[in-house]
Amino acid sequence: MAFKKQYLKSKAVCKVTFKISKDEAREAESVRLVGDFNNWDTAAVPMKKLKDGSFTATVELEKDAKYQFRYLLNDQEWENDWSADEYLPSPVSLDENSVVAV
């Protein structure tokens, strides 16, 4: 798992491309990127599945902020991004959430 940050000169945003490999997704049929930036909407548009079985999604996030997120595999299992910038305790479970800082 990993994400790539691309800061835009023309806007106060950062394009963040999230990617989860086929193995990390445990061969899921669908993966959703769910977090602060979409109000933890578990019905969010699924990430794009690539030919190699990995999943990707790009989100524009306002700069100088931190966002908590997780991946939702097959609408059932939660997975963190183990390359996240940091981790914070979830306010709704005993799990930790991944954090991306932009």
* DSSP-derived 3-state class of residue 74: coil
Domain 2-101 matching CATH 3.10.20.30: the answer reads no
Rounded CA-CA distance 77/49 in Å is 17
| pTM of the shown model | 0.94
Cα–chain center distance at 53: 17
Half-sphere exposure of 75 (CA within 13 A, CB side): 6
How big is the CA angle at 24 (ends 80 and 19), to the nearest 5 degrees? 75
- CB of 71 closer than 8 Å to CB of 81: yes
Average pLDDT, rounded, for the chain: 95
Query: Where exactly are the structural domains of the chain?
Result: 2-101
Residues 49-87 pLDDT 10s: 999 999 999 999 999 999 999 999 999 999 999 899 999
Q: What is residue 2's predicted lDDT score, i.e. its pLDDT?
A: 83
